[in-house]
Structure 1
């Protein structure tokens, strides 16, 4: 029997048939997943903890709010730069070595952040930490994708996704407890045990094959792509401060970022080996999965910003109480993710994501109608349902994108997936910020702004479902034998 072509879309991987018995996930894949989880927890937990502690950190270091915000903004800018070079470094030094190096760097910069004597020092070390995180996250996903293979991608990513969903869910509670009983330095020092355990396990279980010969680093493409992503994310994040998309601090970096990305695309089209292989988007499954993931990321990041404000501003909850109120949302995701992974491998990421994102919209939409004094149990039920739906709204799209490319293309695929998710997340946060800013500056009832914001999140989820419908159609359509999906 002739083996299947490596450049065609595997219809079984896309979910048209059930996984065979031989597709049982080996123990070494689960060990690899367990190691990568440490990096995922560190990255996701760190962001939520630091954002909660910005006010306390600024007061202790004698910095203004405008200055201390760069602790968060600098991290995001650095993340955008390193995401664009991750693929090149993965090939150059080996993805296992890159992950462990990034883990060590993230842990050391966490220590440096904790002992920062001034706001300027803290901002500088957070930039270095962002560079490390931008390498660690996609490198970990690449390791998982290469270990699991397309037939098992959904189940492995689903289980690992528990850490990705669980860390932000418990982050506000942990952050509130730390700030209530200890100093803000512990927001960073908490990363040390995760880093040490992760490194010890990585040295034992992760593959550390050497790199392969690669083309010299294209510095011009790095500046265009890294600067472009960072500028767009920064400009969108400034919406919350400026309160309007027409502010110079918003539209100028966004425009410059878009021009930088356009320059990167034009340069890449004329190079045989670009910094990031943009020809991956010739693969229709990969392209559709990323478009859907963009909108799903916008909805997910948007709701993660909106829900804490909903409880803190409208219900007057403190940090710890807000974390408790949000626990139902995280619990729903934790429960559903393993099942969502199995469904993805069985039916395809597109089909599962269509249902998941429509379910997110259905769970969020009632929050756009409820009064401030709505029954607390009803709100918790809706949040639990939204958590369940989120588990099958986003991760299946990531799994579908990785399952659609070859083993050697995974480093660049992971970079693109994370870039589009980050930019989509910035769009979702900007949508929430604009709506709430307009609400507070007008004569609206305060609840009206939150109602409109929840409506916006529901609409983003519907957009993700529509894009996932396109993905589902491409997954069910075998690629012609002469088609080239390799890029």
Structure 2
């Protein structure tokens, strides 16, 4: 769009043909989505506190994360339909209300008792359902608001949310838990409740100003909801992820709660996929996977996510249980890595515009492998500064992979397929996260249980019992870290098959968007 001879680059056109400023809308979306994404890992350093308050096992406490990822994984495939059916502003506002309600439910959950654990989990499910909408919607909106030639830089901004929020979650929680808070005359000491106060406040502000800042930027169509596809999607991904969630508490041999849900989930997902490929107007257009570059980038992103979570969820437990650190101190050990992620995401986005995804993916995967390998050999005496340096190296490598590959995946598709591509890409990532957290919680718990010393040593030889218990914990964490290393190696191997050059959408699409229009 031009005024006189001067092109307006700070404005864009919404789907109603009205101009608006992009910067305020992008800032609000990034801030609100950051508050939502923070919920994914914010309870990582609070697992010992939850175990104490609810008198539950580590595997049960990890359900606060696995059920979040389960609900998130179910909602992400639905996001493509919602983004096409409903206006951008309305969908965002509804999602923010659900997210706010979820945070408030957890914050105000009944006094900690094992019988009230379900209330806590219900709040987490509400949070995850909202994030399952806002996260993929953010990426689709950014794709539609900026021209393809700026895709790397824009996705780098998105990386501040998708990458930095989960990375900073454990540190943020540890800092909050280290302080006493007085709210409405009630003192919260070492309470997980206080973790939700700041995100609630931020989200509340975003919710109030959303009607004035958000605009309808995505083209909508009056598409009919295919109930069968919706049921297949929810049941398939729900059963599959629920089965893996139960692994942590029931083990791998439980037929009713683990094996059967996973098998039935896989079968329903296959039926769902077959129907989508053969429908004229699919609920989720899986034909995006016919594009090789999109498929490969999605696989690498899923593997990198599993490698990241393999250490992300277990390292705070290692720092607290083996090194005896507080929640704050264990979070501070991870803080430089989180900051590295935040710094590198925009830089990696800009680098992608110059060198493409393959080089960044290869270099980033190698750095991730080098930074992960020593974790397999950590001891009780490993210096904290060494762990901080390794974690920072890992996050440096992850940042070099995440956003460039996400931008590459989106650039491999026409803009008209952005919603389906984003939903498919994020579904793969959320399924990978849910599976790996459940898997590692189960494996670590089982290894520790089988390796822990005999109970009688606790009274007959307390020192020997303590030493053997530490060794049992280390064995469990070593296995977890080794699995994270394996996923990083698989990501490196897959990255070799990526295309080496940046893919470009048609010049017409680029020209239209650079002038503030939309590509239909």
TM range (shorter): 0.7 to 0.9
Give RMSD over aligned pairs: 3.1
Change (3 A) 1:60 1:303: closer
User: What do the CA deviations read for 1:428-447 (whole angstroms, capped 9, x no partner)?
Assistant: 33453354235321379433
CA shift, 1:31, in A, is 3.8
Change (3 A) 1:205 1:405: farther
CA shift, 1:73, in A, is 4.7
The CA distance in 1 between the partners of 2:66 and 2:275, in whole Å, is: 28
The equivalent of 1:485 in structure 2 is none
Change (3 A) 1:453 1:257: same
Q: Is the 8 A contact 1:83 1:226 kept in 2?
A: no
The equivalent of 2:437 in structure 1 is 429
Q: Is the 8 A contact 2:333 2:385 kept in 1?
A: no
Q: Is the 8 A contact 2:284 2:420 kept in 1?
A: yes
Which shifted more, 453-462 or 337-346? 453-462
Aligned partner (choices 125, 134, 142) of residue 136 of structure 1? 134
SS in 1 for 2:136: helix
Aligned partner (choices 235, 244, 252) of residue 245 of structure 1? 252
The equivalent of 1:289 in structure 2 is 297
CA shift, 1:74, in A, is 4.3
SS in 1 for 2:42: helix
The equivalent of 2:420 in structure 1 is 412
Aligned partner (choices 471, 474, 484) of residue 498 of structure 2? 471
1:5-404 residue pairs with structure 2 within 5 A? 28-50=21-43, 52-53=45-46, 72-117=65-110, 118-180=116-178, 181=180, 182=188, 183-200=191-208, 202-208=210-216, 212-242=220-250, 244-248=251-255, 249-404=257-412
User: What do the CA deviations read for 1:148-197 (whole angstroms, capped 9, x no partner)?
Assistant: 33322221222332243333343233323434422443333333222133
Q: Is the 8 A contact 1:229 1:419 kept in 2?
A: no
The CA distance in 2 between the partners of 1:349 and 1:299, in whole Å, is: 19
The CA distance in 1 between the partners of 2:304 and 2:245, in whole Å, is: 18
Larger Rg: 2
Aligned residues: 456
Change (3 A) 1:261 1:25: farther
Change (3 A) 1:383 1:126: closer
The CA distance in 1 between the partners of 2:434 and 2:105, in whole Å, is: 27
Change (3 A) 1:113 1:199: same
CA shift, 1:463, in A, is 1.1
* Residue ranges of structure 1 left out of the alignment (5+ in a row): 1-21, 480-487
Change (3 A) 1:49 1:286: same
Which shifted more, 250-259 or 370-379? 370-379
The CA distance in 2 between the partners of 1:61 and 1:373, in whole Å, is: 31
* Residue ranges of structure 2 left out of the alignment (5+ in a row): 1-6, 13-20, 111-115, 181-187, 453-467, 507-520
